[in-house]
Each structure stands twice: as structure tokens, then as C-alpha cells.
């Protein structure tokens, strides 16, 4: 049985990934501050450790042999500028080198790093491939980009490093986020029957959360000679924010017989816009995506009809920046 340690394993992606890996017979260690609660199912093959990735002493007290680390922990949101800048820098950048060097010395064989496709910032190119220059527009994507060379400096045959630049993730997780584009708009369409689109022309790549988890699972087992030292973009559809809203409006009308009004507000605030190309994953790795943005819209609509997230508009837990401001994390 392989052991996988997931930093940030209690987050939106981490919770679904942990549950999936446990089901597939991995032993999973979740290392997380649990700022957004704990929605992971208990299991004999699961160990949960409450800790901060800045606390290397605590991490070095973990004595279980670990095969693979999947590094998800970070302050995950482009709006981190609304928080204390040094907090983002400490968590999303300064902690990275000590963390990776600790796991390398500890004998971990593989380290999978969650970067972000938002490192590309803005591009007119019709095809943003992995070799496209990084144009950081926010602190979040600047620090993601700065971690990548540190990752690859540590890559070797005995410590295989892989970098993933995922599109914006969408769909259901027991630890839900309603602050990500498709999730935000579907949530508002369901609850308020009205969506406000800011700007709208920005192109954004999207990825269903189950495909995200399947890709991490694939990377745990993939041939190290094939994937080691590589960066992978991963996305499904590239859609403008305006067209995500129109897609939601159409699905609500045709499938649920519900009218949704779209309001447009001119805005220059969020300039991130790029057309992500994920051919490397699809062609070189033959990795197949199984889910779509439509699947995500449908499952969020269906789950919001149940009681599971009945406090979704008021409760800060579904919105990263709101929660971190409330917790006054330093
Ligand atoms: N969600 C997306 O659309 C998306 C897209 C591209 C990349 N990513 C990356 O994927 C990863 C997971 O994203 P997510 O949406 O699940 O985010 P999330 O905010 O839901 O999860 C992050 C988890 O990390 C934990 N955490 C934060 N700081 C920590 C620290 N200092 N020490 C220990 N734990 C800490 C939080 O408690 C949380 O459980 C992140 O690295 C993110 O940047 C996400």
C-alpha cells in the first residue's frame, strides 16, 4: 500500500482527492491547518494532522514512510491582495524551499506540486502552452511561478518532481468553494436567479474537480521517466466569463425551466485572460478528461436543492478570503 501525504488535503480539491485515494487503497496523511473545516470521511487508512506548512519542526515529527507528497496547501485565491501581503509570501513562497528539502531528505520518492494556470496572467496567444512566458498579475500567481524553479532544482531520479498548472476548478466537493468562476455563477443563478458579470470578455480555462483528482492520481503512478521534471497544463474548455454566464442561463432554461437574468458591469479589475492549451497532457500522456463544465453546473445546481449548503450565501467558510479575514490569520 502506497502512502501519500497531501498538504492542504482538507481543502476543496484535497477533500475529494483524499476520499478518492482512500477508496483506491492508498494510505493518506492529510497535513492541513483546517481553516475551512474538516469534511473528510474517517478511515483506518487516513491520518489527519493539524499543522501549518510553515512549521517544519512539526512536519519533521511525521515519522510514517511517505511515497508521494501532493502539495496543495496555500492561500488559494487571486484576491490574496486583500490580505496581509507577508502572509501570502510566507505561505505561498517562503515555506516552499524548506518543505521540499525536508521531504527530499526524508526519502519521499515523488513530489507533485499544484501551481496554477493563472501564472500566465494575460496573453493574446491562441495557444498558451507550457513554454509560454509567465506574466504574474497578482501576488498569488507571482508566488506560484517563483516556486516552480525551486521545485525543479530539487528534481532527481530519486526525488521525482512534477509541476501541474491547473485551470480554474469547478464542481462539487464536500468542502465547497463558491468563490471560483463557474461555482460562483451557478450558485448565484440557483439562489438569486440573477448573475452579475464583471467585464466578461476575459478567457478562462476550466476543469472539473473529478478530472483534477483523477490527474493527481494518475501522476502518483505514472512512469517517472515520462513525467519527472515536467510541467503540465490541465484544462477542459476555455470559455469567456460572459459565455460561462450564458451557458448557465441556457442550461437553467432548457433543463430546469428556470429563467436567469444576466447583468453586465464594465470592469477592468480582473485582467487575467489566456487560452490554455493542454495538448501535452492529452497527447504525450494520453490522459483523458471525463467531465465537463456542464457536469459541474448540474451537480452544483442539484446539491444546492438539498440542505447540504443551505447557508451558502451567508457562511464565510465557502469563500476563502472572507474566511481568512474573519480568522485574522497571521
Ligand atoms: N481551485 C482552483 O480553481 C485551483 C486552480 C489552480 C490551482 N489550484 C491550486 O490547487 C491547490 C488546492 O486548491 P483548493 O481550491 O483546494 O484550495 P483550498 O483553499 O480549498 O485548499 C487549501 C487548503 O490548504 C490549507 N492551508 C492553507 N495554508 C496552509 C498552511 N500554511 N499550512 C497548512 N495548510 C494550509 C487550507 O486550510 C485548505 O484546506 C492550491 O495550491 C491552489 O492554488 C487551485
What pLDDT, on a 0 to 100 scale, did the predictor assign at position 200? 73
Mapped onto helix, strand or coil, the DSSP state of residue 82 is: helix
Q: What is the mean pLDDT of residues 220-243?
A: 96
Pairing of strands 261-265, 231-234: unpaired
Query: Each residue of 111-142: pLDDT tens digit?
Result: 999 999 999 988 888 899 999 999 888 888 99
What atom of ligand 1 comes closest to residue 91's alpha carbon? 31
Mapped onto helix, strand or coil, the DSSP state of residue 116 is: coil
Residue 266's alpha-carbon distances to 53, 182, 201, 261, in angstroms, are: 39, 19, 10, 16
Contact 323, 316 (CB under 8 A): yes
Q: What is the mean pLDDT of residues 242-262?
A: 97
What atom of ligand 1 comes closest to residue 169's alpha carbon? 3
Instruction: Calculate how far, in angstroms, residue 114's C-alpha sits from the geometric centre of ligand 1.
Output: 9
Q: What is the mean pLDDT of residues 61-73?
A: 97
CB atoms within 10 A of CB 52: 18
In eight-state DSSP terms, residue 106 is: H
Question: Which helix (H) or strand (E) covers residue 69, if one does?
Answer: strand 68-71
Q: Whose CA is nearest to atom 32 of ligand 1?
A: 52
Contact 239, 206 (CB under 8 A): yes
Query: Each residue of 150-207: pLDDT tens digit?
Result: 999 999 999 999 999 999 999 999 999 999 999 999 999 999 999 999 877 888 899 9
Mapped onto helix, strand or coil, the DSSP state of residue 89 is: helix
In the chain, the domains with their CATH numbers are: 3-170+206-237+275-291 (3.40.50.720)
Round to whole Å and give the CA distance between 290 and 4.
24
Contact 170, 210 (CB under 8 A): no
For ligand 1, say whether the CB of 10 is within 6 Å of any of its atoms.
yes
Instruction: Calculate how far, in angstroms, residue 173's C-alpha sits from the geometric centre of ligand 1.
Output: 13
Question: Which helix (H) or strand (E) covers residue 168, if one does?
Answer: strand 168-170
For ligand 1, say whether the CB of 116 is within 6 Å of any of its atoms.
yes
Contact 119, 136 (CB under 8 A): yes
Which of 327, 256, 240, 261 is CA-nearest to residue 297? 256
Contact 164, 144 (CB under 8 A): no
What pLDDT, on a 0 to 100 scale, did the predictor assign at position 136? 85
pLDDT above 90 covers a percentage of the chain that reads 84
What is the per-residue DSSP string for 242-277? HHHHHHHHHHHHHHH----EEEEE---S---B--B-
Mean pLDDT of the chain: 94
Whole-model pTM: value is 0.97
**Burial zone of 158 (CB within 10 Å; 0-12 exposed, 13-18 middle, 19+ buried):** exposed
What pLDDT, on a 0 to 100 scale, did the predictor assign at position 80? 63
Q: Whose CA is nearest to atom 9 of ligand 1?
A: 114
Round to whole Å and give the CA distance between 68 and 21.
12
Contact 262, 246 (CB under 8 A): yes
Residue count of the chain: 330
Round to whole Å and give the CA distance between 56 and 71.
14
Name the band, by pLDDT with cuts 50, 70 and 90, for residue 85. confident
Instruction: Calculate how far, in angstroms, residue 72's C-alpha sits from the geometric centre of ligand 1.
Output: 5
Lowest model confidence (mean pLDDT) among 3-12, 80-89, 151-160: 80-89
What atom of ligand 1 comes closest to residue 14's alpha carbon? 16
Longest dimension (CA), the chain: 58
What pLDDT, on a 0 to 100 scale, did the predictor assign at position 205? 94
What pLDDT, on a 0 to 100 scale, did the predictor assign at position 329? 77
For ligand 1, say whether the CB of 9 is within 6 Å of any of its atoms.
no
Query: Each residue of 290-329: pLDDT tens digit?
Result: 999 999 999 999 999 999 999 999 999 999 989 988 888 7
CB atoms within 10 A of CB 183: 24
Amino acid at each position: 500500500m502506497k502512502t501519500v501525504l497531501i498538504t492542504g488535503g482538507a481543502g476543496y480539491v484535497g477533500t475529494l482527492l483524499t476520499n478518492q485515494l482512500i477508496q483506491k487503497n492508498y494510505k493518506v496523511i492529510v497535513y492541513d491547518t483546517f481553516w475551512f473545516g474538516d469534511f473528510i470521511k474517517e478511515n483506518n487508512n487516513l491520518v489527519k494532522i493539524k499543522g501549518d506548512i510553515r512549521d517544519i519542526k512539526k512536519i519533521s515529527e511525521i515519522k510514517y514512510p511517505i511515497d508521494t507528497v501532493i502539495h496543495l496547501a496555500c492561500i488559494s485565491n487571486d484576491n490574496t491582495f486583500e490580505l496581509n501581503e507577508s502572509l501570502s509570501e510566507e505561505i505561498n513562497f517562503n515555506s516552499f524551499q524548506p518543505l521540499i528539502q525536508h521531504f527530499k531528505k526524508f526519502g519521499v520518492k515523488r513530489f507533485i506540486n499544484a501551481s496554477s494556470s493563472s501564472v500566465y496572467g494575460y496573453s493574446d496567444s491562441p495557444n498558451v502552452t507550457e513554454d509560454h512566458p509567465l506574466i504574474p498579475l497578482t501576488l498569488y500567481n507571482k508566488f506560484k511561478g517563483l516556486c516552480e524553479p525551486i521545485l525543479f532544482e530539487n528534481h532527481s531520479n530519486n526525488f521525482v518532481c512534477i509541476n501541474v498548472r491547473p485551470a480554474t476548478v469547478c464542481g462539487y466537493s464536500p468542502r465547497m468553494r463558491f468563490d471560483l468562476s463557474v461555482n460562483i455563477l451557478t450558485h448565484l443563478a440557483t439562489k438569486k436567479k440573477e448573475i452579475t458579470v464583471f467585464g466578461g470578455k476575459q478567457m478562462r480555462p476550466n476543469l472539473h474537480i473529478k478530472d483534477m483528482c483523477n490527474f493527481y492520481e494518475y501522476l502518483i503512478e505514472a512512469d517517472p521517466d515520462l513525467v519527472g521534471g515536467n510541467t503540465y497544463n490541465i484544462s477542459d474548455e476555455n470559455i469567456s466569463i460572459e459565455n460561462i454566464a450564458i451557458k448557465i442561463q441556457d442550461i437553467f432554461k432548457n433543463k430546469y425551466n428556470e429563467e436567469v437574468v444576466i447583468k453586465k458591469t464594465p470592469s477592468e479589475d480582473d485582467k487575467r485572460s489566456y487560452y490554455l492549451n493542454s495538448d501535452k497532457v492529452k497527447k504525450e500522456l494520453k490522459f483523458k478528461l471525463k467531465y465537463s463544465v456542464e457536469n459541474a453546473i448540474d451537480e452544483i445546481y442539484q446539491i444546492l436543492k438539498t440542505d447540504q449548503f443551505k447557508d451558502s450565501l451567508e457562511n464565510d467558510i465557502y469563500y476563502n478570503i472572507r474566511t481568512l479575514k474573519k480568522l485574522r490569520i497571521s
